[in-house]
Amino acid sequence: MDNDSGDDAVWQTALDWLMREHEETLSDVDREALHAWLAVSSLHRRVFHEAEQLWMLTGLIPSGDERN
């Protein structure tokens, strides 16, 4: 559990971005919004970096179809 609700909000926003990007191609406006969000604080950048590292790792796990 995240004991800091602020951290959790940042984490959830990072997930929002990754999930959006997974489902659609982000427009230039979207990318600018993401960069603006990242530029706000080093916390945003750190948490986003953790989220995308985890996202990358989960992408390496074969799906059920690929395993059988």
Residues at the site binding another protein, with contacts judged by CB under 8 A: 1-2, 11-12, 15, 19, 21-23, 31, 34-35, 38-39, 42, 45-46, 49-52, 54-68
Rounded-to-integer distance, Cα 17 and Cα 19, Å: 5
| Centroid of chain to Cα 43 | 13
Shortest separation between residue 13's beta carbon and another protein, angstroms: 11
CB of 35 to another protein, least distance (A): 4
What's the Cα-to-Cα distance from 19 to each of 3, 4, 24, 25, 67, rounded to whole Å? 24, 23, 9, 11, 24
Q: How near is the Cβ of 16 to another protein at its closest, in Å?
A: 9
